[in-house]
Amino acid sequence: MKISLFAILLIPLLLLTSCSNNNEINSKEYLGEIYSIALDSIMEKDEALSSDMEFIAIDMSNFDELNEQELNEPNKVQILSYFEGKYKVEAMDASYENLIEKGLYNPDTMVLNGVLLRIEKVDFVSNDFMFEGSKYRAGDGSVTVKGIVQYHNGKWVIKDTKVTQKS
């Protein structure tokens, strides 16, 4: 009798735990990949901004503030390597101010010699990474994007992006 009562209680418990959401992913392990995908989705918007670019600057100065999870040095190297490999130009971690200091901003034309990518806002919800970011070339040459990177079928992919502002 005790064994059958135990079995009656155990079977529903096992069924409940097997049906629970075990698909949660530790996104901290994938931050380099997630940021690369998000930034690349921004890069693909307004291709005219990318014409004749000599570099891609990614302002990572606020990445740690955006995440409770720290974006470590290997993740930053992964992001820069991804962009150098895909776009065949130098990729660097630099802010707008850094680019001016390095002489990579042309004061006569008021245009960067490359593009500057930034992520301004992020939110992790379940297996989704929601972000807002921008691509900048000049005061009248920039685009702002909102998007979602989602863990789907064992990999991180862009679920949705849309341009929210263009100048």
CATH of the domain at 136: 3.10.450
Domain that holds residue 68: 23-166
Residue 86 lies in a domain: yes
Kindly state whether residue 61 falls inside one of the protein's structural domains: yes
Task: List the one residue out of 118, 124, 44 whose CA is nearest residue 86.
Answer: 44
Whole-angstrom Cα distance, residue 117 to residue 143?
10
3-state secondary structure the chain: CHHHHHHHHHHHHHHHHHHCCCCCCCHHHHHHHHHHHHHHHHHCCCHHHHCCCCEEEEECCCHHHHCCCCCCHHHHHHHHHHHHHHHCCEEEECCHHHHHHCCCEECCCCEEEEEEEEEEEEEEECCEEEEEEEEEEECCEEEEEEEEEEEECCEEEEEEEEEEEEC
Quick check: is 13 in a domain?
no
Q: What is the pLDDT of residue 7?
A: 45
Q: Of 146, 145, 150, give the one whose Cα is nearest residue 124.
A: 150
Is residue 162 one of the residues assigned to a domain? yes
The pLDDT tens digits of the residues spanning 106-159 come to 888 889 999 999 999 999 888 899 999 999 999 889 999 999 999 999 999 999
pLDDT at 121: 93
Number of domains in the chain: 1
Question: Can you name the residues that pair with 105 across neighbouring β-strands?
Answer: 112
Assess contact for 23 and 150: CB atoms under 8 A. Answer: no
pLDDT in tens, 61-115: 887 655 555 677 888 999 999 999 999 999 999 999 999 999 999 888 889 999 9
Establish if 102 belongs to a structural domain.
yes
Give the pTM: 0.81
Residue 2 lies in a domain: no
- Residue 155: inside a domain, yes or no? yes
The closest alpha carbon to 27, from 156, 115, 145, 164, belongs to: 156
Q: What is the pLDDT of residue 75?
A: 86
Residue 69 counted as domain residue: yes
